[in-house]
Every structure is written in structure tokens, then in C-alpha cells.
Amino acid sequence: MRFELTPRTSVSPVARALAPVVAFITAFLIAGFVIWLMGRSPIAAFEVYVLHPLSDPWSLQELLVKATPLALIAIGLSYCFRASLWNIGAEGQYVMGAIFGSWLALKTHGTDAGFWVLPLMMILGIIGGALYGLIPAFLKTRFGVNEILTSLMLVYVAQLTLDYLARGPWRDPKGFNFPQSVTFDPSATLPSIMESGRVHYGFVFALIAIAITAVILGRTLFGYRLKLTGDAPRAARFAGFSSKATVMAVFAISGGLAGLAGITEVSGQIGQIQPSISPGYGFTAITVAFLGRLNPIGILVAALVVALTFIGGESAQIMLKLPLDLTQAFQGILLLCVLSADAMVSYRVRLVTRGGAK
């Protein structure tokens, strides 16, 4: 006796649209049960995780701040995932983009540099992330190395490089031996959209990336190329599309957007180099991409939803004494629920007996 998945002949558009909603509700129910087992009230946790952040003006700004890197990274990942290529190392590309862009900020520190510093920092961040993303792409196209393993292992290289720089060459000599660089000059700091707010122009970059991606994926030959490569690789080859060029292109785009997210976070929020500049945005963005069904608008909504869990998790840690790791566990449960919901929509589950009866 075994379970068998058979593709459905037709998939309801309503069911496909409702699958992420059902997955999110299911994940919340599972998380509520875990919270109940920990001796806390699931209703109180729901209020802290969802209602309080949505009713507080400061939390709403923080929601946009945390959604910015998630949206930028997830939009980049959507290029890879649509082509059935698995970039799991966006966290490393995020870190490397922050390193490349911060180099210029530290190089011009205290020199009264002009307005050109900030745009060039953004460009360097994109270049750094793109170059780091091209490493697993090159290894895949040249030697056939699995991109999942290489992109993931490179995350640790990037994180250790950042740790070395923050504790070594880039450490502030007047920082009382703390592992951090000097604070960036105003010319190297990404300004806020509103004078008294926390939302910086990185959120505008995310909206621009979403709009451009929506046009590219929906109305250009390159978008069709990615869809065909992901759905029917042999047909893509017969159509004359180079698989190697596709791999290099999508990894460069994905890494570049992750690098942009890294430098906007450092220059817009943190203001200096530290050993840790991310709570796991690069990995969480994988959940965001799939929760948004690899659709640019869906990714924006998913980024806001997942950012809500970050803010709620921080509040729950203070108000309910719940561990912050519970937020990461919830995000993992959410990804599993999304993938399961997609499978249930696309496939029919059948029980096959030993005799072959279904």
C-alpha cells in the first residue's frame, strides 16, 4: 500500500489563487497549537503578532522597512525559480553586495565627498551581488556542479568575510574594540522618504524592481524564455535558447538584486558594517517568492506578510516571553504549507494497494 501523486488534468484558477491563503491559515493554526503547548494563549499571540503591528503607526513603518530587502531578494529569486534554477545563496549575495557598497562609504569617510557617493554605492552593491551570484552559475555551466550546494556553501564564505572585515581591517579604531566600522557619513547614508520616518528609498527601489520585473516576465521574449526553460527545457533548446546563457543571466540578476538589498539595508538602516547585518533575509526570501507564486505583485504582498512575522516575533519575545526562534520556525512551517498546498492543487493523491487497485 502506498500513496501516489497523479497530475490533475485541469487545475481550477480559484483553487490555485486560494492555495497560499489556505497555507497561511494552516501555518497559523500549527503555530497556535505550538504556542498553546508552550503554555501561552494562541489568541494573545495572534494579537501580538498581527493586530498590534497593524494598529501602530511606528510598526507600520517598520513593516515597510523589513519588507524592502525581502521583496528585493525575492524578486531576484523569481527569475531563477521560473527557469527551474535553484539559487539558495541569496543570503551570501546580500552580504557581498553590502561589502562592495560599504567599501566606498568607508573609503570616502571624512572626505566631504559629493552626492555621487550614494549612487555609486548602490551600483557597487549590485555588482558585488551579481559577481557572487555568477560563481555558482559558472560552476554549473562549466563543470555541471549542482547550483544548490555551491550557492548555499558560498553563504558561509560571505558571512565569514564580513565577520573578518568588521573585526579586522574595517573596525573603527575609536570604537572601544567593538566589532564594527565607523558610522557612515551623511553622503553615504540612504535618506528616508519622509523627514521624520524610518522608511528609506530602498522601498522605492523595491517598487521599481517589481514594476520592471512584471513587464519583463509578462511582456518580453526574455520572460517567455524563462518560462519555457522552466516548463520544457528540451523545447527551449529546440527554440534556440542557450541554457548556459540563461543560467548566467538569471543568477546575475538574482545576485544583483540581493546585493542591492544588502547595501540599502546597511546604508539605510544600520549605518555601518557589523558582523551580522541580516536576520536571515536571504533564506526567508525563498518563502516570500513561493508564497507570492513567483508573481511580482504577489511577492510584494508576501513580503509584507512575512515582514509582519518579523515584527510580531520581536514583540512576542518582549510581551509573551516567546523565543525569537519561534518566528523562524513559523516561516519554515509556512514554506512547507505553501509547497504542500501547491502540490494538492496540481496533483491528486491516490492510495494504491498491493494488488494495484486505487
Question: For residue 358, what pLDDT is reported?
Answer: 55
Give the chain's count of helices (H) and strands (E): 14, 2
Give the pLDDT of residue 128: 98
Tens of pLDDT, residues 302-356? 999 999 988 988 888 888 888 888 888 888 898 889 888 888 888 888 877 765 5
**pLDDT per residue as tens digits for the range 86-141:** 999 999 999 999 999 999 999 999 887 888 999 999 999 999 999 999 999 999 99
Match domain 68-321 to its CATH number in 1.10.3470, 2.60.120, 1.20.1250, 3.90.1200.
1.10.3470
The percent of residues above 90 in pLDDT, for the chain, comes to: 63
**pLDDT-derived band at 272, boundaries 50, 70, 90:** very high
Across residues 44-66, what is the average pLDDT?
88
What ranges do the domains of the chain cover? 68-321
pLDDT band at 155 (very low <50, low <70, confident <90, very high): very high
Question: For residue range 164-184, what is the model confidence (pLDDT) as tens digits?
Answer: 999 999 999 998 889 999 999
